[in-house]
Chain A
Amino acid sequence: MTTSTGRRRGSLLLWHLTALVLLALVSYPVIWTVGSSFKPSDRIVGALDLLPTSPTLANYRRAFEGAAGVSLLRFSLNSVLVAVLSVIGTVGSSSLAAYAFARLRFRGRNLLFTMMISTLLLPFHVMIIPQYIVFNQLGWVDSYLPLLVGKFLATDAFFVFLIVQFMRGLPPELDEAAEIDGCGHWRIYANIVLPLSRPALITASIFSFIWTWNDFLGPLIYLNTPEKYTLPLALRMFIDQTSVSDYGAMVAMSMLALLPVILFFLAFQRYLVSGVATSGLKG
Chain B
Amino acid sequence: MFMLRRVTRRGVAAAAVVAMTATLVAACGDDSGSGSDGKITLRYSWWGPAERAEIMNKAIARFEQQNPNIKITPNFSDYAPYWQKLATETAGGGAPDVMQMDYTYLSEYANRGVLLDLASQVDKNIQIKELLPGLQDVGVIDGKRYGITVSGNTFALIYDPAAFEKAGVTVPDAWTWKEYQDAAAKVGKAVKDDKMWGATDYTQITGILETWLRQQNKELISADGKLVVSKEDLKAFWEHGQRMRDLGAIVPQSKVAQVAPKSAPGADLVASAVGIDTYLTRYAGETKRTFAIAPMPSDDPNNLGLIFRPGMLLCASSKTKNPDAAAKLINFMINDAEVGKMFGGNRGLPASTIQREAALPVLSPQDQAVLEYENGISDQLKPAPLPPAGVGPVDAAFLRIGEELNYGKTTIDKAVDQFFTEAEQALSAS
Contacts and interface: CB of A to CB of B under 8 A. Distances in A.
Report A-B touching, CB under 8 Å.
yes
B429 interface: no
Contacts of A160: none
Interface in A234-258: 236-246
Contact of B88 (A42, A132, A152): A132
B376 to A, nearest CB: 24
B48 A243 contact: yes
Interface string B167-192: 00000000000000000000000000
Interface string A210-245: 000000110011001110000001001111111111
A158 interface: no
Contact of B52 (A139, A141, A243): A243
A100 B92 CA distance: 35
Contact of A245 (B9, B94, B261): B261
Contact of B259 (A46, A89, A191, A236): A46
B23 A136 contact: no
A190 B11 CA distance: 12
Contact of A136 (B85, B93, B96, B281): B93
Given A46-B258, A226-B74, A148 B281 contact: no
Contacts of B155: none
Contacts of A233: 77
Given A192-B2, A244-B285, A136 B94 contact: yes
A69 interface: yes
A42 B267 CA distance: 9
A240 B12 CA distance: 42
Give chain B's interface residue range (CB within 8 Å of chain A): 35 or more
Contact of A238 (B10, B16, B49, B57): B49
A241 B49 CA distance: 9
Interface in B270-302: 281-282, 285-288
A128 interface: yes
Contacts of B75: 224-226
A68 B61 CA distance: 13
B261 A220 contact: no
B405 to A, nearest CB: 23
Nearest to A88: B16
A141 B94 contact: yes
Interface in A127-161: 128-129, 132-133, 136, 139-145, 148, 152
Nearest to A194: B9
A56 B364 CA distance: 26
Contacts of A88: 12, 15-16, 19
A92 B16 contact: yes
Contacts of B89: 132, 221
A80 interface: no
Nearest to A129: B91
Contact of A45 (B78, B92, B261): B261
Nearest to B22: A85
Given A42-B286, A45-B262, A243-B52, A145 B57 contact: no
Contacts of B124: none
Contacts of A145: 23-24, 27
Contacts of B26: 143
Interface string B54-98: 100100000000000000011111111100110011011110100
A237 B259 CA distance: 20
A108 interface: no
Contacts of B73: 142, 224-225
Given A139-B31, A142-B32, A226 B53 contact: yes
Contacts of B122: none
A170 interface: no
B57 to A, nearest CB: 5
A182 interface: no
Contacts, number: 152
Given A89-B16, A221-B85, A241 B92 contact: no
Contacts of B50: 67-68, 237-238, 246
A226 B12 contact: no
B228 interface: no
B20 to A, nearest CB: 6
Contact of B78 (A92, A152, A239): A239
A66 to B, nearest CB: 9
A243 B49 contact: yes
A239 B262 CA distance: 11
Interface string A49-72: 000000000000000000111000
A42 B287 contact: yes
B15 to A, nearest CB: 6
A128 B16 contact: no
A195 interface: yes
A137 B94 CA distance: 9
Contacts of B5: 191, 194-195
B30 interface: yes
B13 A92 contact: yes
A283 interface: yes
Contacts of A152: 16, 20
A221 to B, nearest CB: 6
Contacts of B74: 225-226
Interface string B241-267: 000000000000000001101100001
List the 6 closest A-B pairs by CB distance, nearest first.
A244-B285, A68-B53, A67-B50, A132-B92, A237-B50, A240-B49
24 contacts: A42-B287, A42-B288, A45-B267, A67-B53, A68-B54, A68-B76, A85-B20, A89-B16, A132-B89, A136-B93, A139-B30, A191-B2, A220-B85, A225-B73, A226-B74, A237-B78, A239-B261, A240-B47, A240-B48, A240-B49, A243-B48, A243-B282, A244-B51, A246-B49
Given A133-B92, A143-B27, A195-B9, 14 more contacts: A42-B288, A68-B50, A69-B54, A132-B88, A194-B9, A220-B85, A221-B84, A225-B74, A226-B74, A233-B77, A236-B81, A237-B50, A240-B52, A244-B286
